[in-house]
A = this chain, B = another copy of it.
């Protein structure tokens, strides 16, 4: 056993080094690499992926994992979890015919460009054939991977959020449909004709950056182990707790965008930085799942960042950074402005209240495709019908409808629901956190340290050494429950929109 383990650790070390090189190349690609370097870069990536793949599929490694898996009861729990996951990954890889897998990867390397072109030309028909091919592969993929325990669309759901099934999501979105959709309609009626006092000003980019640097200190993002940079679409990346990087974007006419993108990404970043460093260099490194990651980013962005209490402390600082623009805007007006609800056709522009309805729509469609056999030819009209059902508006173009997201072009079906689940997790976590901490007091202190510490102890430090459902259960003493999320939203937005008698 000792010998097997040593062999495993030595191969793992090699695999992690490739992962590391590819992480850094990808970070460079998305932030600064000159556009002309990508052909050559593509070849180098190809070689590195292949070198790593050769190790991962070597007889030696596969055999090793089999042996360790058989004897997993002898392993301490971290390693046991890791071996289970590696075994799962290898078994999956083995089930897919290699030629078909490679053909799919080739398809995926081209499909985003085809999607972008179709979106650009506002013409869904240009993307349809590609989307059909992607779905055809995924149907086969599901077929290859089906087991007694897990079939159909569940295969895809489990891939992005371990342990989540159609049944779970149906219950989750069912609750949103019943309680949230009618409430949103009521808020939207009240929100009609609202104007945004922030939209009349220009906010110089340099000053926005300074404020985002200030926010790093407020949130305790550790610059010794991380950095902030720029890119078109904000994202967080890194390798282990000692190297965590996020990007932000800045628009002169929209200071709110940079502020909340920064806080959102720092939520992801804090999760990574607060993982126990013992997991660096292992396959338990990083966050436990997409939804759990999103729960942290949404927690900081919405629960913390869009709270009145947060801005009581930090709005004066923002005013100081932008004296001309904000001197006459009261804290209360600012708070209202950053929590304004309005229908957006575009998911990424959506406010906190309506965001998860955009996700629900996508979940409904994915389920329709993989469970009910919806044809791609019907996808556009189905999208538009659902949008009308949830938001009461006609979708004006495919650009603002079925073609808006890149995910499906990347083959990512089953991914979207994790966004909404993450938001819902954050409300439930908040509910339980408040038993230990006074949110008001923490916010008044000027930084989020006690919150960070709470999340670190209960969630972050475990990294990916346990399944997300396990971590949640141990952290808050109960399983996931959507109720907290809907309660939180209805409570917050009834106050904001003066719907005091709302029945829920």
A14 x B243 contact (CB < 8 A): no
Residues of B within 8 A of A32 (CB): 227, 229
A147 proximal to B (CB < 8 A): no
A17 proximal to B (CB < 8 A): yes
B227 x A36 contact (CB < 8 A): no
A37 x B242 contact (CB < 8 A): yes
CB-contacts of A2-25 with B (<8 A): 13-14, 16-17, 20-21, 24-25
Report the nearest B residue to A238, measured CB to CB.
B37
Q: Closest approach, in angstroms, between the C-beta of A228 and any C-beta of chain B?
A: 10
A143 proximal to B (CB < 8 A): no
**A 241-267 binary contact with B (CB < 8 Å = 1; else 0):** 011110000000000000000000000
Residues of B within 8 A of A44 (CB): 16-17, 20-21
**A 208-240 binary contact with B (CB < 8 Å = 1; else 0):** 000000000000001111110100000000011
Given A44-B20, A51-B14, is A36 in contact with B242 using a C-beta cutoff of 8 Å? yes
Q: Closest approach, in angstroms, between the C-beta of A150 and any C-beta of chain B?
A: 35
Given A40-B240, A40-B242, is A21 in contact with B48 using a C-beta cutoff of 8 Å? yes
B34 x A224 contact (CB < 8 A): yes
**A 401-420 binary contact with B (CB < 8 Å = 1; else 0):** 00000000000000000000
Residues of B within 8 A of A40 (CB): 239-240, 242-243, 280-281
A281 x B17 contact (CB < 8 A): no
Q: In the assembly, what is the distance between CA of A43 and CA of B242, in Å?
A: 13
Q: Which residue in B28, B34, B47, B48 is a CB contact (below 8 Å) of A223?
A: B34
Q: Closest approach, in angstroms, between the C-beta of A148 and any C-beta of chain B?
A: 40
Residues of B within 8 A of A222 (CB): 36
B21 x A25 contact (CB < 8 A): yes
A39 proximal to B (CB < 8 A): yes
B17 x A243 contact (CB < 8 A): no
Report the nearest B residue to A239, measured CB to CB.
B40
Report the nearest B residue to A33, measured CB to CB.
B243
B243 x A41 contact (CB < 8 A): yes
Residues of B within 8 A of A223 (CB): 34
B229 x A51 contact (CB < 8 A): no
Given A21-B25, A44-B20, is A34 in contact with B243 using a C-beta cutoff of 8 Å? yes
A35 proximal to B (CB < 8 A): yes
Given A25-B24, A40-B239, A229-B32, is A13 in contact with B47 using a C-beta cutoff of 8 Å? yes
Q: In the assembly, what is the distance between CA of A280 and CA of B245, in Å?
A: 30
Q: Closest approach, in angstroms, between the C-beta of A11 and any C-beta of chain B?
A: 11
Q: In the assembly, what is the distance between CA of A16 and CA of B41, in Å?
A: 11
Q: Closest approach, in angstroms, between the C-beta of A42 and any C-beta of chain B?
A: 11
Given A40-B240, A40-B242, A44-B21, is A224 in contact with B14 using a C-beta cutoff of 8 Å? no
B242 x A17 contact (CB < 8 A): no
Report the nearest B residue to A273, measured CB to CB.
B36
Max count, chain B CB within 10 A of own CB: residue among A34, A51, A245: A34
Q: Closest approach, in angstroms, between the C-beta of A333 and any C-beta of chain B?
A: 33
Q: Which residue in B17, B25, B227 is a CB contact (below 8 Å) of A34?
A: B227
A34 x B229 contact (CB < 8 A): no
Q: Closest approach, in angstroms, between the C-beta of A49 and any C-beta of chain B?
A: 10
Q: Pull 11 A–B residue pairs with CB atoms less than 8 Å apart, ordered by A.
A: A13-B47, A16-B47, A17-B43, A21-B24, A24-B28, A32-B229, A36-B224, A36-B225, A37-B242, A37-B243, A40-B239
Closest 9 CB pairs of A and B: A17-B47, A37-B243, A21-B21, A36-B225, A36-B224, A20-B44, A17-B44, A36-B242, A37-B242
Apart from A13-B47, A51-B51: 19 A-B pairs, beta carbons within 8 A: A13-B43, A14-B51, A17-B51, A20-B41, A21-B24, A21-B25, A24-B25, A24-B28, A27-B28, A32-B229, A34-B223, A34-B225, A34-B226, A34-B227, A34-B242, A34-B243, A37-B225, A37-B242, A40-B240
